[in-house]
């Protein structure tokens, strides 16, 4: 199996951490989505990472689909079996992923739009989504199961990325999330290797 990723991507970090947690052997292929490389587009017509290509050539994309695939493949190593715990985990995962989606749009507004075409009111709306999500995430984290799940990897990917892309925001506004991130490597030591980091 191989996964297309970039070192900064919160979603790619999520699936690479989940794969390690499941002891899955995957090859990681560093990818620049902005260049729309042909091998990535062949795996994911949306041109986004992460995209996973199985040994038989089947391609899967979107971090949730990929993590769910790992979970099925390994007999439930990433998601709880009971409906109640599954629901809590999936809600945290969806919240973390949705915050990432909103924040990434604000990053892309700066990266891809010329200054005179940027629309601050739209950026502010995305930030309000992210801020509401972060407030809810803080309350939801307390209800996660003991064992690591896709929710932990989604949150660790998001917060790890925010720690350099939105430097100081968590410490100033969401200290409980900042503490959660600081404590995460104790639960999952491979975060130091697989967590998001600024592109070199
Ligand atoms: N919902 C997707 C989001 C993936 C995503 O937005 N990835 C970003 C990088 S962090 C990307 O590939 N962006 C390039 C683009 O949007 O063209 C997931 O969970 O995998």
- 3-state SS of the chain: helix, strand, coil percent to 5? 65, 5, 30
Who's near 51: CB < 8 A, 6+ residues apart? 3, 4, 40, 43, 44, 59, 60, 61
- Residue 34's pLDDT is 95
**Domains in the chain and their CATH numbers?**
2-73 (3.40.30.10), 83-188 (1.20.1050.10)
Q: How would residue 46 be classed by pLDDT, with cut points 50, 70 and 90?
A: very high
Q: How far is the CA of 76 from the centre of ligand 1 (A)?
A: 25
Predicted local confidence at residue 150, as pLDDT: 98
Half-sphere exposure of 55 (CA within 13 A, CB side): 3
The model's confidence at residue 186, banded by pLDDT at 50, 70 and 90, is: very high
Q: How far is the CA of 28 from the centre of ligand 1 (A)?
A: 16
* pLDDT exceeds cutoff 90 at 122: yes
Residue 135, pLDDT above cutoff 90: yes
User: Quick one: average pLDDT of 74-85?
Assistant: 97
Q: Is 80 exceeded by the pLDDT of residue 180?
A: yes
Which DSSP helix (H) or strand (E) runs through 59? strand 59-61
Q: Within 10 Å of residue 93's Cβ, how many Cβ atoms?
A: 24
Supply the pLDDT for residue 60: 98
Does the structure show a pLDDT above 90 at 200?
no
Question: Taking Cα atoms as reference points, which of 16, 11, 103, 28 lies closest to residue 62?
Answer: 11
If you measure from the C-alpha of residue 46 to the centroid of ligand 1, how many angstroms do you get, rounded to a whole number? 9
Q: Is 14 in the pocket of ligand 1 (CB under 6 A)?
A: no
Instruction: Please give the pLDDT value at position 198.
Output: 96
Residue nearest to atom 10 of ligand 1 (CA): 9
Average pLDDT over residues 171-189: 98
What's the CA gap between 180 and 54, in Å, rounded? Answer: 33
pLDDT, mean of residues 3-27: 98
Closest Cα to residue 194, out of 163, 166, 161?
A: 161
What's the pLDDT tens digit per position in 105-121? 999 999 999 999 999 99
Ligand 1 atom showing the smallest separation from residue 64 Cα: 19
| Mean pLDDT, the chain, integer | 97
Query: Which of 48, 92, 197 is the pocket-test mutation for ligand 1 (most atoms within 8 Å of CB)?
Result: 48
Nearest to 11 by CA among 85, 104, 84, 74: 104
Q: Who contacts 143 (Cβ-Cβ below 8 Å, separation ≥6)? A: 88
Atom number, ligand 1, closest to the C-alpha of residue 10: 10
- Residue 36, sorted as left (phi over 0), alpha (psi -120 to 50) or beta, turns out to be left
Average pLDDT rounded to a whole number, residues 60-76: 98
* Token pair for 163: 């720690």
Taking the C-alpha atoms of residue 47 and residue 62, their distance in angstroms, rounded to an integer, is 11
């Amino acid at each position: 199996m191989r996964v297309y990723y970039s070192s900064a991507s919160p979603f790619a970090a999520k699936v690479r951490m989940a794969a390690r947690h499941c002891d899955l052997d995957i090859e990681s292929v560093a990818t620049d989505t902005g260049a729309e490389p042909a091998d990535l587009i062949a795996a994911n017509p949306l041109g986004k990472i992460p995209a996973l290509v199985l040994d038989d050539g089947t391609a899967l994309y979107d971090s949730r689909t990929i993590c769910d695939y790992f979970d099925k493949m390994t007999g439930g190593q990433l998601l709880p079996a009971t409906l109640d715990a599954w629901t809590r985990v999936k809600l945290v995962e969806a919240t973390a992923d949705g915050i990432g989606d909103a924040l990434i749009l604000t990053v892309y507004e700066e990266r891809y739009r010329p200054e005179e075409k940027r629309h601050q009111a739209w950026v502010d709306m995305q930030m309000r989504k992210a801020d509401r999500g972060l407030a809810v995430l803080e309350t939801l984290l307390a209800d996660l199961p003991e064992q690591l799940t896709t929710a932990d990897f989604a949150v660790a990917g998001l917060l790890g990325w925010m720690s350099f892309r939105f430097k100081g925001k968590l410490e100033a506004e969401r200290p409980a999330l900042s503490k959660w991130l600081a404590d995460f490597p104790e639960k999952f030591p491979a975060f130091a290797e697989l967590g998001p980091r600024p592109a070199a």
